Amino acid sequence: MNVTVKSTSRARKKAAPGVPDPARAGVGAEPELVQLLTPEGERVEHPEFPLTVTPEELRSLYRDLVLVRRFDAEATSLQRQGELGLWASLLGQEAAQVGSGRAMRAGDYAFPTYREHGVAWCRDVDPLNLLGMFRGVNNGGWDPNEKNFHLYTIVIGAQTLHATGYAMGIAKDGADDAVIAYFGDGASSQGDVNEAFTFASVYNSPVVFFCQNNQWAISEPTAVQTRIPLYRRASGFGFPGVRVDGNDVLAVLAVTRWALDHARTGQGPVLVEAFTYRMGAHTTSDDPTRYRQSEETESWKAKDPILRLKAHLEKEGLADEAFFAAVEAESETLGLRVREGVRSMPDPDPTLIFDHVYSEPHPLVDEERAEYEAYAASFEGGEHH
């Protein structure tokens, strides 16, 4: 099944299950996608992806979006000040991450790349743990089994195989849970991702492949990655694909909730393509002005996920200025905590890297530790460098 809808409230035409619509095949054409909240903040409905949310839930989603963007911006500033070695910003992708993160149940398990800071927030991972890794003082800092949120994966696409294997395992255990694997449009070209699709399909694994198509694989546009919309690749592997407006937190919530339920009830994997945009650089070592036009970025600003939800809250009278001011004040507090927390992180003892290579002492590791300690002691003062 390939599911697409018009991004307006007029009548929607759905392609027959499993049959691509040639009129929609053009990669460069205006995309058809599931949308529940227009860029102007107007609520629209979709028969296959109904969503009922309370005013309190809408306000909570808005708070998530604002706070996630704030600590992401703080991290970018800290890297520019030399406090972090690198940072991969999620600017513009907050709705894709918060919507999918809030769709998960407590027992569901997420496998991220290195940019899923919003999903980490939804899984109660402290932002300082994320930043500690980019500062080089820890290797993640959180317990994946406590948070049901795996450690960040730097190798492009590798986490999709990890997620599929985990999903195969929980299926054998008979658990009523699902797995979600995050990756980008560029990673969709990796062999690991396509192998994961094959295994997940053949074993009917309860896994949702969540692709954040932010239009750019570092400096290469999606058009050079694929000849068809990414979500349609699922049909070649024998499972459904859905394209959703990745800047619409409500549509992402509804589609991901449906996909996870589809997977957990024994119906197999789903590919969700969240059609969004990377507003900033690929990482802080990248200069996007070298390969994309400013007009493109400006056009996406009108689709900003935070502004559209704020517009909806204001139009419907679901939040007042006091609420928005309170969220802004909370974001300032979070920014200060992140800034002070990063700067006060102690440097780790370099010999800690030898401690958990194996679960028990190992003579080769002991020998390497002794060699390093002797090398470090050879410097003046005997301090580690």
Taking the CB of residue 63, how many other CB atoms lie within 10 A of it? Answer: 16
* Alpha-carbon span 160 to 155, nearest angstrom: 11
Largest CA distance in the chain: 76
175's tokens: 């658990």
**Would you give the DSSP letter of residue 100?**
H
- Is there a contact between 6 and 32 (Cβ–Cβ < 8 Å)? yes
Residues 6 or more apart whose CB falls under 8 angstroms from that of 35 comprise 5, 7, 44, 46, 244, 245, 248, 251
**DSSP-based three-state secondary structure for 111:** strand
Name the H helices within 285-358: 294-301, 305-315, 321-343
Cα 77 to Cα 49, 61, 81, 143, 173, distances in angstroms: 38, 25, 6, 27, 45
- Is there a contact between 86 and 283 (Cβ–Cβ < 8 Å)? yes
> Would you name the residues annotated as active-site residues?
278, 282, 291
